[in-house]
Amino acid sequence: MSNSTKYIFVTGGVTSSLGKGIISASLAKLLQSRGYSVTIQKLDPYINVDPGTLNPYEHGECYVTEDGAETDLDLGHYERFLNTPTSQANNVTTGRIYQSVIDKERRGDYLGKTVQVIPHITDEIKERIQILGNKGTHEFVITEIGGTVGDIESLPYVEAVRQMLWEKEGDCLVVHLTLVPYLSAAGELKTKPTQHSVKALLELGVQPHVLVCRTEHELGDELKDKVAKFCNVSRSAVIESRDASTIYDVPLLMKEERLDEVILGKLNMPLGTEPDINEWQSFLHKLKNPEKEVEIGLVGKYVELRDSYKSITEAFIHAGASNNCKVKVRWIHSESITSDNVANKLNDLKGVLVAPGFGTRGIAGKIEAIRYIRENQIPFLGICLGMQCAVIEYARNVLGWPEAHTMEIEENTNKPVIHLMNEQRSVVDKGGTMRLGAYPCQVNNDTTAFEVYGKENISERHRHRYEFNNEYLSDFEEAGMIASGMNPEKGLVEIVEIPEHPWFVGVQFHPEYKSTVDNPHPLFVNFVQAAIKQQVKVMSSSELQS
């Protein structure tokens, strides 16, 4: 056995959306539960330098890491499964690779050589893959290659994998995720697409070691034999991956299929300790056997594509399980809310979350929703733009300032209760220039926030340009909305709440990014508790009336 870092590549064939991210995270979880240190990286073949400038409709949520990288939403799955932070190094795009190669060329680093895809781009890719391994802290680096084998744009990545397999023989392994579709007309599962996608990899010089076959039906021994024989993989390395009712089942399904054992065997690594998955199992048990259900509204403008709010919905799953409660999310399009229909849309909800976002579309509906929630004592959690809307609503309807607004939407408003941060005033470029990543926050005693966190000093992740305007803080506090959390260095308001209300909290940061299976986020846990209390209150008052 060698002590060097092992590199596991996860490629995808036949179609996109097979769940490479979940398979990577599940494999990592199993290796971690055997005592290994593992990290997961995603290589994305698009030319954007990062997904920060992408519209959520294009690519779902932009996930933010501790070090302020704007990354692919799969990194959220990695953190939720492994409970360890990722960083900028865990997500690399073609844009970033080219940017770095072009910067080096301009600096003259290539000493007059012609700069080419091979070797310069592929060298840069290999370097980015090995940055994580070279730290010496991880025994395994799992690298998920975005896209589908056969795409023109993923060719340099597959070539980099081919080179690494050759250069680091014995330390690298390829897991290929494919689809075995069921043809109902024929009543059969079909392996040909898998054979073709393995052929596509072989043409590029890569022989996968393990095949994970997504399927709606049991593969059976005969089909597994056939896939093994036609794709040159050992029989034990044909892994069935059946559709699961929750992504959190997948590590256990992969354990049953011995994915981790097969891989450790092929990499000549000891099996380690027997996997410790008791906590995971107890989470799954709670998730699947809730004692109660509570319905919470999610008001946002991207609700047609639910992946836009991935970390929020997962945080509800974690918080629900920890409360033995199923959180049913009602998706409400902020553009559809008006003063006429708001009661109809929200009155039976036990809590409402107003989502983050950018720009004008849907703002009026968010503000209308918050007015209704505040006046009707429904638990409220506002995140980032959701918090900013709560501040605007309070200014307009409680302080009596109808012109109050955020400068993001009305630059010249007379009452800029939300304004551009000082450090943002000279910013011109849109990409990577927001206030990003983890910042400390000091929580005041005797507040809901303190009850939630149980401590004074916390750290949360940010992604915004605008903030609460401290010029108006005393007006707000006198009127009943307080700042319960502040950035200790800059005095920025990070948490607002209304003590008079049963549970009304707005946060400038994104708690959803830090919720994991092992550590459900306290804000979500407490918010769900408040929603459960609301349910009990509503039920007992309707019993009294009947």
Q: Which of residues 358, 442, 488, 518 is near ligand GLN by CB under 6 A?
A: 358
408 is an interface residue for ligand GLN by CB under 6 A: yes
310 is an interface residue for ligand GLN by CB under 6 A: no
Q: Among residues 462, 464, 501, 510, which one is catalytic? A: 510
Q: Which of residues 239, 327, 384, 391 is near ligand GLN by CB under 6 A?
A: 384
The secondary structure of 402-424 as a DSSP string is TT-EETTT-TT-S-EEEEE-GGG
- Given a contact cutoff of 8 angstroms between Cβ atoms, the answer to whether 502 and 533 are in contact is yes
Q: What is the chain's alpha carbon radius of gyration, rounded to the nearest angstrom?
A: 25
- Given a contact cutoff of 8 angstroms between Cβ atoms, the answer to whether 80 and 248 are in contact is no
98 is an interface residue for ligand GLN by CB under 6 A: no
Segment near ligand GLN (CB under 6 A); pick from 25-33, 282-290, 463-471, 483-491: 463-471
**Beta-carbon contacts of residue 123 (< 8 Å; ≥ 6 apart):** none
> Per the structure block, which two tokens stand in for 378?
């429904």
- Given a contact cutoff of 8 angstroms between Cβ atoms, the answer to whether 352 and 346 are in contact is yes
Query: Which CB, 9 or 380, lies closer to ligand GLN?
Result: 380
29 is an interface residue for ligand GLN by CB under 6 A: no
Closest CB 356 distance from ligand GLN, rounded Å: 3
Closest CB 154 distance from ligand GLN, rounded Å: 30
> Per the structure block, which two tokens stand in for 356?
């983050």
Query: Which CB, 97 or 384, lies closer to ligand GLN?
Result: 384
d(CA 182, CA 219): 10
Environment class of residue 423 by beta-carbon count within 10 Å: exposed (0-12), middle (13-18) or buried (19+)? exposed
Q: Which of residues 60, 357, 416, 506 is near ligand GLN by CB under 6 A?
A: 357
d(CA 180, CA 171): 29
d(CA 525, CA 86): 23
Q: Which of residues 49, 69, 385, 438 is near ligand GLN by CB under 6 A?
A: 385
Query: Which CB, 69 or 219, lies closer to ligand GLN?
Result: 69
Query: Which CB, 301 or 318, lies closer to ligand GLN?
Result: 301
Closest CB 424 distance from ligand GLN, rounded Å: 9
- Give counts: helices (H), strands (E), the chain: 18, 23
Q: Which of residues 318, 374, 463, 501 is near ligand GLN by CB under 6 A?
A: 463
464 is an interface residue for ligand GLN by CB under 6 A: yes
Segment near ligand GLN (CB under 6 A); pick from 100-108, 146-154, 334-342, 355-363: 355-363
Q: Among residues 384, 389, 464, 497, which one is catalytic? A: 384
Distance of CA 23 to the CA centre of its chain: 15
Chain positions 465 to 504 lying near ligand GLN, rule: CB under 6 A, are 465-466
Query: Helix 74-82 crosses helix 20-33 at what angle (to 10 degrees)?
Result: 20
**Beta-carbon contacts of residue 340 (< 8 Å; ≥ 6 apart):** none
Segment near ligand GLN (CB under 6 A); pick from 69-77, 281-289, 350-358, 374-382: 350-358
Closest CB 441 distance from ligand GLN, rounded Å: 16
- Given a contact cutoff of 8 angstroms between Cβ atoms, the answer to whether 387 and 327 are in contact is no
356 is an interface residue for ligand GLN by CB under 6 A: yes
| 441 is annotated as an active-site residue | no
Antiparallel, parallel or unpaired: β 38-44 and 91-93: parallel
Between the alpha carbon of residue 247 and those of residues 251, 254, 383, 408, the distances in Å are 8, 11, 25, 37
- Given a contact cutoff of 8 angstroms between Cβ atoms, the answer to whether 199 and 230 are in contact is no
410 is an interface residue for ligand GLN by CB under 6 A: no
512 is an interface residue for ligand GLN by CB under 6 A: no
Query: Which CB, 126 or 464, lies closer to ligand GLN?
Result: 464
Closest CB 67 distance from ligand GLN, rounded Å: 17
Using alpha carbons, select from 293, 260, 299, 300 the residue that is nearest to residue 276.
Answer: 260
> Per the structure block, which two tokens stand in for 292?
């109660």
Q: Among residues 138, 419, 512, 521, which one is catalytic? A: 512
> Per the structure block, which two tokens stand in for 98?
């080219």
Using alpha carbons, select from 307, 357, 364 the residue that is nearest to residue 335.
Answer: 364
Closest CB 234 distance from ligand GLN, rounded Å: 47
- Given a contact cutoff of 8 angstroms between Cβ atoms, the answer to whether 537 and 417 are in contact is no
Closest CB 524 distance from ligand GLN, rounded Å: 17
Percent helix / strand / coil, the chain, rounded to 5: 45, 20, 35
Closest CB 194 distance from ligand GLN, rounded Å: 41
149 is an interface residue for ligand GLN by CB under 6 A: no
Query: Which CB, 143 or 406, lies closer to ligand GLN?
Result: 406
Query: Which CB, 283 or 472, lies closer to ligand GLN?
Result: 472
d(CA 332, CA 206): 46
Segment near ligand GLN (CB under 6 A); pick from 119-127, 346-354, 460-468, 499-507: 460-468
Q: Total binding residues for ligand GLN by CB under 6 A?
A: 10
| 384 is annotated as an active-site residue | yes
> Per the structure block, which two tokens stand in for 474?
């005393």
Closest CB 72 distance from ligand GLN, rounded Å: 17
Closest CB 476 distance from ligand GLN, rounded Å: 18
- Given a contact cutoff of 8 angstroms between Cβ atoms, the answer to whether 467 and 483 are in contact is no
74 is an interface residue for ligand GLN by CB under 6 A: no
Segment near ligand GLN (CB under 6 A); pick from 12-20, 193-201, 342-350, 353-361: 353-361
Helix (H) or strand (E) segment spanning residue 188:
strand 188-189
Active site residues: 384, 510, 512
- Interacting residues toward ligand GLN by CB under 6 A: 356-358, 384-385, 408, 463-466
